[in-house]
Amino acid sequence: MSEKVYFEIRNLHADVEGSPILKGVDLKINKGEIHAMMGPNGSGKSTLSNVIMGHPSYEVTEGEILFGGQNMVELAPEERAQSGLFLAFQYPVAVPGVTTAKFLKSAFDAVHGEQNIKAIAFLKELRANMKYLGVREEFINRYMNDGFSGGEKKRMEILQMLTLQPQMAIMDETDSGLDIDALKVVSKGVNKLVSPAFSLLVITHYERILNYIKPDHLHILMDGKIVFTGGSETVKKLEEKGYDWVREEYGQEVLAGREEASKV
Partner 1 sequence: MTTETTFINDEYKYGFVTEVEADTIPKGLNEDIIRMISEKKNEPDWMLEWRLQAYRWWLNKEEPQWPMLNFEPVNYQDLRYYSAPKKMADRFKNEEGKIDPEVKKTFEKLGIPLDEQKQLEGVAIDAVFDSVSVATTHQKVLEDLGIIFCSVSEACEKHPELIKKYLGSVVPYTDNFYATLNSAVFTDGSFVYVPKGVKCPVELSTYFRINAQDTGQFERTLIIADEGSYVSYLEGCTAPMRDRNQLHAAVVELIALGDAQIKYATIQNWYAGDKEGKGGIYNFVTKRGHCRGKNSKISWTQVEAGAAITWKYPSCILEGDNSTGEFYSVAVTNNCMQADTGTKMIHIGNKTKSTIISKGISAGQSANTYRGLVQVLPDAFGCRNYSACDSMLMGDQCSANTVPYIEAENSTAVIEHEATTSKISEEQLFYIKSRGIDEENAINLVVNGFCKEVFKQLPLEFAVEATKLLEMKLEGSIG
Asked if residue 11 binds partner 1 (CB under 8 A), the reply is no
C-beta of residue 170 within 8 angstroms of C-beta of residue 86: yes
Whose Cβ is closer to partner 1: residue 91's or residue 245's?
A: 91
The answer for 192, left when phi > 0, alpha when psi is -120 to 50, beta otherwise, is alpha
List Cα–Cα distances, 258 to 149, 165, 255, in angstroms: 32, 36, 5
* Contact assessment for residue 235 and residue 210, using Cβ atoms and an 8 Å cutoff: yes
218 contacts partner 1 (rule: CB under 8 A): no
In the shown chain, the binding pattern of residues 148 to 187 toward partner 1, with x for contact by CB under 8 A and - for none, equals ------------x---x-----------------------
Rounding to the nearest 10 degrees, give the CA dihedral for residues 180, 185, 187, 189: -170
What amino acid occupies position 123?
A: L
Applying CB under 8 A, does 95 fall inside the site for partner 1?
Answer: yes
CB of 100 to partner 1, least distance (A): 12
CA atoms within 13 A on the CB side of 185: 20
54 binds partner 1 (CB under 8 A): yes
- Using CB under 8 A, pick the residue from 16, 60, 107, 193 that binds partner 1: 107
Query: Could you tell me which stretch among 24-32, 87-95, 127-135, 194-202 binds partner 1 (CB under 8 A)?
Result: 87-95
Report d(CA 56, CA 252) in Å as an integer.
Answer: 33
CB of 97 to partner 1, least distance (A): 3
Q: What is the DSSP letter of 88?
A: E
Cα separation, 72 vs 254, whole angstroms? 29
CB of 84 to partner 1, least distance (A): 10
| DSSP letter (8 states) at residue 227 | E
> 98 or 117, CB closer to partner 1?
98
Q: Is 229 in the site for partner 1 (CB under 8 A)?
A: no
- Residue 65's DSSP bridge partners are 9
Q: With binding defined as CB under 8 A, does residue 7 bind partner 1? A: no
| Total residues in contact with partner 1, by rule CB under 8 A | 30
| Rounded Cα gap, residues 220 and 38, in angstroms | 5
Q: Which is nearer to partner 1, 6 or 86 (CB)?
A: 86
Rounded to the nearest whole angstrom, what is the least distance from the CB of residue 125 to partner 1 in the complex? Answer: 16
Task: List residues near partner 1 by CB under 8 A.
Answer: 53-57, 76-78, 80-82, 86-87, 89, 92-98, 102-103, 106-107, 110-111, 143, 160, 164
